[in-house]
Structure 1
Amino acid sequence: DAASVSAATGTDGDGVESLAEQVKRLHEWVQETETGDRDDLVPGVSEKAWRQVSLSKLECLGTGCPMIDDCFPDNAKQTAFESDIVVTNHTMVGIFSTGSPNVLPEFSSIIVDEAHELVDRVTSAATSELTIGAIDHAARLARRNGGVSTGSLDHAVENYGLALAELPEQSFPQGLPAEAQYAVEAIRDASREILTQLKPKKDGESTDTGLKVAQAAMLQIFEICERIAANDASRDVLWCSRPRFNSEEGMQRLNIAPLSVNGLLSTNLWGTHTGVLTSATLSLGNSFDPVARSIGIDHSLNPETGVARAWSATDAGSPFDYPKQGILYIAKDLPTPGQSPTTESQLDTIAELITAAGGRTLGLFSSRRAAELAAEAMRERLDVPILVQGEDQLPTLVAQFSEDEETCLFGTLSLWQGVDVPGPACQLVIMDRIPFPRPDDPVKAARTRAIAASGGNGFMQVSATHAALLLAQGAGRLVRSINDRGVVAVLDPRLATARYGSFLTNSMPNFWTTTKKDVAIGALQRLSEAQ
């Protein structure tokens, strides 16, 4: 956890670095770093500390900022604008796709690697939240830098807090309850009035840096409120949540996200650009159509020509001989997973498989609670090291897992994708259940309802496609080189018994498949004895 690291600058009595110490370390780091990239800061800092030294995108003053010469993002942007080839990340492509063209230089073609993540990244970039902390921050800036009264906004925020306290954590496809709606509209109206007061009194644009920051922060509040108040269920998904981090970040807030991003991608990314998309998991159920549909190229119209875009797909194959290198074991005899994170029969099977493998296990679980319970049970039953995501930074855990062949690593979503551990350290990959999206995921639930309402199969297009993608990614952790051998064990009988099972298995590497546990155990024992 970035918020609980110890640093050389000192820690409090519990060994946890204080906020002041984190900020001090950030100021020292900024004098040394060449990129300003948060990922380059090791150990990391809490979100609260990072906010003390950073600005949101809407608070950025652009070329009018007096610190422009020392601005890391602007320097990177200028370098990109002078380059023939620009390498960036999904986040920047997501921001560009939401309608912010100036974040990237002009380009004619784009190559997107790991393109299966594109929809989630664009959705994230287009998602906004209305928090009491953000509103209070904008009000402070307006008072301090603009000299304006924020009494009406302060009163509206109080009512908003009271309304939030009464809201359940759920989506609102039919609109907010009246009190919450009135509270959001009051914040919208108050922020609009403050924006009017923050305008320069004389003709021309103000050069006051503080005033510009206040305007940008207040504009962000106004635009989010306007979007939430409009509550267009045909375009957006609106819900209330309480993020579970700490007491401050865990306060309730309203969130709003696009119902679909294929229109944004079709218009802003594919409108005038040639795209090449690559990934090992673009073909789901032996078809590229699900992914093409989700990213806005399946039968979409080119806005300039008014005709459907031409696209083609190619399966380049794999250097791996999956049927000979791996076994897919589907635990058909186990009960269908329910609400309980784990079951005794699941734990018994996990223990048998790990024992046969002599450790060497990557455990992919559908929830953090399931991973923690399974790890606790295995530590009691087995004599092999068990690491759990969250006990240390992920790169450290993966390094420990890869260095010791007896070690097992259990975790959730971050381990399903991107972990690359070739060799005998990973000869067993366990998935506790088919990774369908959580039933309370407001965006995916809304997308499912919208597809069903238009006559489509919402379950297959949303939930099954989501699960197929993660199953393909998770199973791909097993074979990372031509010499790797092992077993992928899915402890969910629905993969073999449900009607959608073939769609899911056809999305995974074509391992030799069995539903017999003794076959999987025998193969693992032989691999273990051969080490």
Structure 2
Amino acid sequence: MIDPDDAAPDDVGALLGADGPFARELPNFAPRAAQQDMARAVAHAIAERETLIAEAGTGTGKTFAYLVPALLSGERVIVSTGTKALQDQLFFRDLPRVRSVLGSRVKTALLKGRANYLCLYRLDQTVRDGGSLDPAQSHQLAAIRQWSARTRHGDRMELAEVPEESPLWPRATSTPENCLGAECPFFDDCYVIKARREAQDADLVVVNHHLLFADLALKQEGFGEILPGAQAFILDEAHQVPELAGQFFSQSVSARQLSELGQDALTECSGITGAIGLLLEPVEALQEALKKLRAAMEALPARGPFAELDSRAVVRDGLRDLVELVATLSDQLASQADRSRGFANVYERSLSLSERLERVVEGQAGEARGVDVRWYELFPRGFAIHATPLDLAAPLRAMRERTQAAWIHTSATLSVGGDFGHFARQLGLEDPQTLSLESPFDYVRQALCYLPPGLPDPAARDYTDQVIEAVLPVLEASNGRAFLLFTSHRALRRAADLLRSRVPWPLFVQGEAPRHRLLEEFRASGHGVLLGAASFWEGVDVAGEALSVVVIDKLPFAAPDDPVLVARLEALEQAGINPFMGWQVPSAAIALKQGAGRLIRDVHDRGVLVLCDPRLLGKGYGKLFLASLPPMPRTREVIDVRAFFAQAQTG
């Protein structure tokens, strides 16, 4: 076992070197200077409680580079990842390997949000109410019941046969609103409580960004904490943090939350004398008001600034009525709160929702939040209203200062043309330590960047048609094996329609099957063409020959209908900063790096990156995008693409 006292920052790098234990004990482990440099920087940041931004190119091995110093630090460390899938990979695959090589006895724990754990009380309720289920759901409920008798951790991830999107899961898991807490009859066997206790006792806890920010936001509100206090926070996939932080420092209320509040209030009336007579009328009035309000919003865009709602008298009046109806329901629930633990819970929810609703509708930001951007979004049968802080830097800075801990942010995509200023500004990081580590991949030999000539302006009506025409010769040269990324779902659908009748390879189109299944089938096909947008720009990891081409249709500028973005850009302009070059270009450059990063995933990969947007060469800011990409040769000639793939076949 390696003694933490012997693992000073300089020595941490040596552990990952050619003469270290990882090279000796792990098959196929390749020592990398960049990985060793990052490990030293992370060890130093933890020891000195510093803030570090570490950009590590694909293939650096950043997971080991932060796990080794974290386990040897002797400090309590929270490691946060971008998704639950990455969280599981880190905890069940990477962490055991590193612990084994180090001989580490550090206590570790995995902690997810409560919706990932089976709730025995909710399951019991659903079983009792089983008559309302269709045959498929009855089968899934039986599977959940059988699993509940043998699971140790109650983590939904263990039960693959019930799909993640099954409507049964919300009925067999809890939310902060419907959890009965210590008064629950199943409290002693609660999986959420067990997972939290393990996290409280552990020295290294693996979480995801959603949970981390939910907890830190709760701490800020004074509700207590889920996660233990830590001396270091390591945020992997840190490029996702600005957007997620915006969600968690927002105040939001949805029609669904209010409707469920009413339904749950009526459910609690069962067996309680006089309750239904008191609550039926206010609940029915609330449900009717929600329907009328959603109908009044029908002609509005899918999302927009709150001023759009205020400008329509019927919507404005409907929101004011809603505030009063929720306050009335809350008053009625107060008289029932001491009659059952369920009623007490529903009453607490009604107070919270009533306060939030009034705050968003009336635009009361509160001193600590600064200026809020109020906005709305519509869903097929509902809506949500939000108040998001215009400047996230201030609450994030205050949050970090309270922790008095090291904060380490790492990702393959944090800088723009080598500059970390945009990322640091978004998070309010002042004078952080920075580290930029090049990928060990040989992009000059392994990759080619093709910029098709003759494409029209991306705003042209037939732009997607022209993109497909330009891409077809590339697909022929690569024999499929391609991933086409689009900046809009409309362009994605148009491209899919055009390709169906024109290519002999199997097409895998986002939205036609769950993401994980599309990726599995694409890998297995060998020559497939995968089309994706939005979430497919990152987290897609297909090493080997199944993926040899990545096509990007346009520069991924954020949607101009995002009301929070519009308000931020206006504020930047008022502060004398060019919002396009100061915000929109850097954000899009980081997103482009994410998409381009899908191409080369290991030292044996070879592939062509096709960037279709003519603004890359026609506009001055195009140079900044190109400078942010890995150093691969560029061409405008399709003959070079054919030669690249012909060389692979003869090599």
The aligned counterpart of 1:151 is 281
The equivalent position to 1:239 in structure 2, one of 372, 375, 379, is 375
Offset from partner CA, 1:270-327 (integer Å, 9 cap, x none): 4322201111111122211111111121x4xxxxxxxxxx411011222112233212
1:93 aligns with 2:217: no
Pairs within 5 Å for 1:222-261? 222-231=354-363, 235-243=371-379, 250-261=381-392
The aligned counterpart of 1:302 is none
In structure 2, distance between residues paired with 1:368 and 1:238: 26
Give, in angstroms, the shift of residue 102 of structure 1.
0.6
Pairs within 5 Å for 1:39-438? 39-42=157-160, 43-46=162-165, 48-100=167-219, 102-127=225-250, 129-145=252-268, 147=275, 148-149=278-279, 151-152=281-282, 154-155=284-285, 157-167=287-297, 168-169=300-301, 170-172=303-305, 174=307, 176-177=310-311, 178-199=313-334, 206=338, 208-231=340-363, 235-243=371-379, 250-271=381-402, 272-297=404-429, 299=430, 310-338=431-459, 340=461, 342-438=463-559
**Alpha-carbon contact 2:465-2:495 (below 8 Å) kept:** no
- Secondary structure of the structure 1 residue equivalent to 2:373: strand
Q: Which runs of 5+ in 2 are unaligned?
A: 1-133, 270-274
The aligned counterpart of 1:307 is none
Give, in angstroms, the shift of residue 127 of structure 1.
4.5
The equivalent position to 1:37 in structure 2, one of 131, 151, 155, is 155
In structure 1, distance between residues paired with 2:135 and 2:462: 33
In structure 1, distance between residues paired with 2:536 and 2:294: 34
In structure 2, distance between residues paired with 1:20 and 1:176: 45
In structure 2, distance between residues paired with 1:214 and 1:386: 48
In structure 2, distance between residues paired with 1:513 and 1:17: 56
- Secondary structure of the structure 2 residue equivalent to 1:438: coil
In structure 2, distance between residues paired with 1:26 and 1:257: 38
- Secondary structure of the structure 2 residue equivalent to 1:58: coil
- Secondary structure of the structure 1 residue equivalent to 2:197: helix
In structure 1, distance between residues paired with 2:473 and 2:350: 58
**Alpha-carbon contact 1:184-1:228 (below 8 Å) kept:** no
In structure 2, distance between residues paired with 1:55 and 1:35: 15
- Secondary structure of the structure 1 residue equivalent to 2:407: strand
In structure 1, distance between residues paired with 2:450 and 2:489: 23
**Residue 342 of structure 2 aligns to which amino acid in structure 1?**
G
The equivalent position to 2:635 in structure 1, one of 505, 514, 520, is 514
**Residue 176 of structure 1 aligns to which amino acid in structure 2?**
D
The aligned counterpart of 1:490 is 611
Offset from partner CA, 1:122-142 (integer Å, 9 cap, x none): 223344553433223212333
**Alpha-carbon contact 1:59-1:216 (below 8 Å) kept:** no
**Alpha-carbon contact 2:233-2:405 (below 8 Å) kept:** yes
Offset from partner CA, 1:376-431 (integer Å, 9 cap, x none): 32232222222222333322322232234322222122321111222222111111
**Alpha-carbon contact 1:341-1:369 (below 8 Å) kept:** no
In structure 2, distance between residues paired with 1:402 and 1:443: 38
Structure 1 pair 143–403 and aligned structure 2 pair: CA distance change class (3 A): closer
Give, in angstroms, the shift of residue 353 of structure 1.
0.7
Structure 1 pair 371–491 and aligned structure 2 pair: CA distance change class (3 A): same
The aligned counterpart of 2:73 is none
Give, in angstroms, the shift of residue 515 of structure 1.
2.9
Give, in angstroms, the shift of residue 498 of structure 1.
1.6
In structure 1, distance between residues paired with 2:461 and 2:150: 49
In structure 1, distance between residues paired with 2:622 and 2:281: 58
Which 10-residue stretch deviates more, 216-225 or 147-156? 147-156
In structure 2, distance between residues paired with 1:461 and 1:237: 20
In structure 1, distance between residues paired with 2:247 and 2:567: 15
TM-score (structure 1 length as normaliser): 0.84
**Alpha-carbon contact 1:362-1:426 (below 8 Å) kept:** yes
| Higher RCO (CA-CA < 8 Å; seq separation 6+) | 2
In structure 1, distance between residues paired with 2:471 and 2:320: 53
**Alpha-carbon contact 2:457-2:463 (below 8 Å) kept:** no
Structure 1 pair 388–118 and aligned structure 2 pair: CA distance change class (3 A): same
**Residue 195 of structure 1 aligns to which amino acid in structure 2?**
S
**Alpha-carbon contact 2:305-2:563 (below 8 Å) kept:** no
**Residue 489 of structure 1 aligns to which amino acid in structure 2?**
V
Structure 1 pair 498–504 and aligned structure 2 pair: CA distance change class (3 A): same
**Alpha-carbon contact 2:252-2:360 (below 8 Å) kept:** no
The aligned counterpart of 1:7 is none
The equivalent position to 1:453 in structure 2, one of 560, 574, 580, is 574
Structure 1 pair 404–190 and aligned structure 2 pair: CA distance change class (3 A): closer
**Residue 349 of structure 2 aligns to which amino acid in structure 1?**
A
Which 10-residue stretch deviates more, 420-429 or 218-227? 218-227
In structure 1, distance between residues paired with 2:135 and 2:626: 46
The aligned counterpart of 1:13 is none
Q: How many residues matched?
A: 496
**Residue 323 of structure 2 aligns to which amino acid in structure 1?**
R
In structure 2, distance between residues paired with 1:106 and 1:208: 34
**Alpha-carbon contact 2:215-2:225 (below 8 Å) kept:** yes
The aligned counterpart of 1:6 is none
In structure 2, distance between residues paired with 1:229 and 1:145: 29
Structure 1 pair 339–446 and aligned structure 2 pair: CA distance change class (3 A): farther
TM-score (structure 2 length as normaliser): 0.70
The aligned counterpart of 1:305 is none
More helix by share: 2
- Secondary structure of the structure 1 residue equivalent to 2:279: coil
Which 10-residue stretch deviates more, 486-495 or 515-524? 515-524
Which 10-residue stretch deviates more, 335-344 or 486-495? 335-344
Give, in angstroms, the shift of residue 143 of structure 1.
4.1
Sequence identity (%): 28
**Alpha-carbon contact 1:173-1:238 (below 8 Å) kept:** yes
In structure 1, distance between residues paired with 2:387 and 2:155: 27
**Residue 603 of structure 2 aligns to which amino acid in structure 1?**
I
**Alpha-carbon contact 2:262-2:287 (below 8 Å) kept:** no
- Secondary structure of the structure 2 residue equivalent to 1:492: coil
Offset from partner CA, 1:200-249 (integer Å, 9 cap, x none): 78xxx9593212321233134213302212325863333332235xxxxx
**Alpha-carbon contact 1:128-1:257 (below 8 Å) kept:** yes
Q: Which runs of 5+ in 1 are unaligned?
A: 1-15, 245-249, 300-309
Q: CA RMSD in A?
A: 2.8
Superposition misfits of 4+ residues, deviation over 6 angstroms: none
- Secondary structure of the structure 2 residue equivalent to 1:343: helix
Structure 1 pair 66–514 and aligned structure 2 pair: CA distance change class (3 A): same
In structure 2, distance between residues paired with 1:195 and 1:260: 33
Give, in angstroms, the shift of residue 107 of structure 1.
1.2
In structure 1, distance between residues paired with 2:544 and 2:228: 41
In structure 1, distance between residues paired with 2:281 and 2:230: 47
